[in-house]
Amino acid sequence: MSDPAAYLAEVLDRREAAARKAIDRTGEASWSADRDGDIVVGEDGADWHLTTDGSLGQAGEHVAAHDPAWTLRDVAVKRKLLADYWSIGARARETDDDPTLITDGRFRVIGTMIRLFAEAEGWTDE
């Protein structure tokens, strides 16, 4: 796919779907890790353990840090960037400006951010 914005939009759709599925299965959006690195599901950290043998260690901390609640917040922020980017481009097209020649600094900055986020997700321009 040659368009990093479209690529990122597809990734965000998949991420949101996975987060919502995790919430549906566990009943909770907030996860944490206990001192052993086990994943604890629930707001107060005492609801129930997703893992209980301590085998995850730091990996458990990483998983908990990217819980469904965090994922949904991350998706929402990146979708706001995409919406702003597409809005600026649409306004340029309405005035017959070439979107690639837009001098609006936000368009260039947001476009760069989107490209970098897409690259972090595996997109390449090759």
Q: State the maximum Cα–Cα separation within the chain, in Å, rounded to a whole number.
A: 62
Task: Give the angle 46-52-54 at the CA atoms, nearest 5°.
Answer: 115
pLDDT at 77: 97
Residues 72 and 87: their CA atoms lie apart, in Å, by 22
CB 104 within 8 A of CB 89: no
Facing residues of 48 across strands?
41
Q: How far apart are CA 11 and CA 88, in angstroms?
A: 22
Q: What does the pLDDT read at residue 44? A: 59
Closest CA relative to residue 92, chosen from 119, 112, 113, 111: 111
What is the pLDDT at residue 75?
A: 97
pLDDT at 48: 63
Read off the pLDDT of residues 99-124 as tens digits, 9 standing for 90 and up.
Answer: 555 666 788 889 999 999 999 999 99
Residue 41 gets which letter from DSSP? E
Residue 22 is encoded by which pair of tokens? Answer: 């995790």
Q: Which residues of the chain have pLDDT under 50?
A: none
